[in-house]
């Protein structure tokens, strides 16, 4: 992989590229990130587990939760990571099964002959300790690159749903009884969350890229069931370029770099802020370092740190540009310590946003942070999302063709532009 810092063409561009062409090898250079040992495991799909607001905790009893997940990287064996990390009591899973998905993008039907029972230490029924994840035994299944998998969990219950990935942008279903092995199920409910599920890995000698971010990385305002989040579309670019890499989306809506959710007492945010997840600095070890074969990191964080204080967080959590830079430096240091190459994404413009984030002071902080990301040479490369997404007529705003309507989140077309802004040579 090239060691010089690179910017998206059309950003600060040639001058910075020339200035950094002779940059010294980064701290992780003694541990090449391009490939892992034969027979190793690599992440192919991931999600950020969060707790659930007290008012939103539901119960599943004698039901099967059937999830659809998108495998970015293929392999011939699979492992599944369950999570009870925010559960106050042990989680009982009566049976779990895995298969390839068939049919339309919204289908949860399975391909005949691909159904496999998951075991955990040889057991078909398992108890996941409170506050812990649990990884399945390997199961043989040919998984093509870019295919969809169906993962079905039978919860004999009653089971309080306390650990979820709240914004899946995928329609999963809940069905009566233990129908984990059925080709097709009759939904009792459709949910766009992942229950007690946070990762899938495949046996592969290839490595994985982690996208660490907030709602923009998570896929906010994109269409369900079509995998139009920018990390998914980047994975498609990688496959087309014959660069086999797992692509792991560890974005979570509302996430901040420096603070956990802290809604003001009595505010409407108390009904949903728990879904924002722990601060990136706090969740970094679980969501980045623990990912199988993670060797690359793309960071896009900071807009919620700017916008939440005074809207869905107290004013006392107002941050400075220096605070954000210090947080990013911690991510870089922790990534390099683990042999992971870290790439910094500039914060997208958000003037006129409907969430109340934009102020002149927040814009000054965004500009300061973006300038540091572009010019400090502390990240191993730069993804200039800001340059790619700004409106040429007003660079403080999102380009209208990329705007989902709230002037903060990109639409599906904007997500494609973000994926196109990532230099593939970072991963060669």
Residue range 163-218, pLDDT digits in tens: 999 999 999 999 999 999 999 999 999 999 999 999 999 999 999 999 999 999 99
pLDDT at 380: 98
In angstroms, how far is the first alpha carbon of the chain from the final one? 5
User: Residue 213's closest CA among 97, 100, 348?
Assistant: 348
Q: Regarding predicted confidence, which is higher, 116 or 14?
A: 116
Q: Which residue carries 């999830």 as its tokens?
A: 67
Instruction: Express each pLDDT in 360-414 by its tens digit.
Output: 999 999 999 999 999 999 999 999 999 999 999 999 999 999 999 999 999 999 9
pLDDT of residue 181: 98
Residue 305 tokens, joined: 């740190």
pLDDT of residue 166: 97
- Give me the residues paired with residue 83 across strands: 133
Residue 39 has a pLDDT of 57
CA–CA gap between residue 137 and residue 243 (Å, rounded): 28
Answer whether residue 288 shows pLDDT above 60.
yes
Looking at residue 23, what is its pLDDT?
35
Looking at residue 14, what is its pLDDT?
Answer: 32
Q: Exposure string (b/e) for 309-331, b if CB count within 10 Å is 16 or more?
A: bbebbeeeebbebebbbebbeeb
**Radius of gyration, CA atoms only, the chain:** 21
Q: pLDDT tens digit string along 337-363?
A: 999 999 999 999 999 999 999 999 999
- What are the pLDDT digits (tens) for 217-238? 999 999 999 999 999 999 999 9
Which of these, 364, 340, 342, lies nearest to 351 by C-alpha position?
Answer: 364
Give dist(CA 296, CA 285) in Å, integer: 14
Indicate the burial class of 300 (C-beta count within 10 angstroms; 0-12, 13-18, 19 or more).
buried
pLDDT of residue 44 exceeding 80: yes
Average pLDDT, whole number, for the chain?
Answer: 92
Closest to 420 measured CA to CA, from 42, 10, 43: 10
Which pLDDT score, from 0 to 100, does residue 378 have? Answer: 98
Q: CA-based angle 108:175:68, to the nearest 5? A: 25
Check whether 45 has a pLDDT greater than 80.
Answer: yes
pLDDT score at 57 = 96
pLDDT at 194: 98
Share of the chain above pLDDT 90, in %: 91
CA distances from 329 to 94, 139, 217, 298, 317 (A): 44, 39, 20, 13, 19
Of 307 and 10, more confident: 307
pLDDT at 37: 54
pLDDT value at residue 174: 98
Question: Of residues 153 and 28, which shows the higher confidence score?
Answer: 153
Q: Is the pLDDT of residue 13 over 50?
A: no
Mode of pairing for the β-strands spanning 294-300 and 341-345: parallel
| Predicted confidence (pLDDT) at residue 30 exceeds the cutoff of 70 | no
Whether the bond between 60 and the residue before it is cis, its omega within 30 degrees of 0, is no
Q: How far is CA 138 from CA 11, 39, 79, 148, 168, in A?
A: 45, 12, 5, 18, 25
Q: What is the pLDDT of residue 160?
A: 98
- In this predicted model, what pLDDT tens digit does every residue of 297-339 receive, in sequence order? 999 999 999 999 999 999 999 999 999 999 999 999 999 999 9
């Amino acid at each position: 992989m090239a060691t010089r810092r690179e910017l998206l063409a059309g950003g600060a561009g040639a001058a910075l590229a020339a200035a950094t062409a002779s940059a010294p090898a980064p701290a992780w250079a003694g541990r090449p990130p391009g490939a892992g040992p034969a027979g190793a495991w690599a992440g192919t799909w991931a999600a950020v587990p969060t707790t659930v607001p007290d008012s939103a905790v539901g119960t599943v009893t004698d039901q099967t939760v059937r999830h659809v997940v998108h495998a970015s990287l293929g392999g011939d064996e699979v492992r599944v990571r369950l999570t009870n990390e925010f559960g106050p009591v042990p989680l009982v899973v009566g049976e779990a099964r895995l298969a390839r998905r068939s049919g339309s993008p919204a289908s949860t039907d399975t391909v005949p002959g691909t159904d496999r029972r998951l075991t955990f230490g040889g057991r078909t029924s398992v108890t996941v300790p409170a506050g812990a994840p649990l990884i399945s035994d390997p199961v043989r299944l040919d998984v093509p690159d870019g295919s969809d998998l169906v993962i079905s969990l039978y919860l004999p219950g009653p089971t309080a749903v306390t650990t979820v990935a709240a914004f899946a942008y995928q329609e999963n279903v809940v069905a009566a009884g233990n129908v984990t092995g059925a080709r097709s199920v009759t939904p009792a409910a459709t949910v766009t969350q992942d229950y007690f599920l946070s990762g899938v890995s495949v046996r592969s000698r290839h490595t994985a890229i982690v996208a660490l971010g907030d709602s923009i990385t998570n896929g906010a305002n994109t269409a369900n069931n079509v995998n139009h989040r920018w990390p998914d579309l980047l994975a498609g670019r990688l496959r087309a370029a014959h660069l086999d890499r797992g692509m792991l989306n560890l974005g979570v809506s509302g996430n901040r770099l420096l603070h956990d959710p802290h809604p003001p007492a009595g505010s409407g945010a108390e009904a949903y802020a728990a879904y924002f997840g722990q601060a990136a600095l706090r969740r970094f070890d679980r969501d980045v370092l623990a990912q199988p074969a993670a060797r690359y990191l793309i960071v896009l964080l900071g807009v919620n740190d700017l916008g939440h204080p005074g809207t869905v967080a107290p004013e006392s959590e107002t941050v400075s540009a220096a605070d954000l830079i210090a947080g990013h430096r911690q991510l870089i240091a922790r990534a390099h310590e683990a042999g992971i190459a870290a790439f910094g994404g500039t914060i997208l413009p958000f003037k006129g946003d409907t969430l109340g984030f934009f102020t002149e002071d927040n814009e000054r902080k965004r500009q300061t942070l973006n300038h540091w990301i572009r010019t400090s040479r502390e990240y191993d490369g730069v993804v200039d999302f800001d340059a790619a997404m700004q409106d040429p007529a007003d660079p403080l705003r999102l380009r209208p063709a990329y705007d989902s309507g709230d002037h903060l989140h990109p639409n599906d077309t904007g997500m494609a532009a973000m994926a196109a802004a990532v230099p593939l040579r970072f991963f060669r």
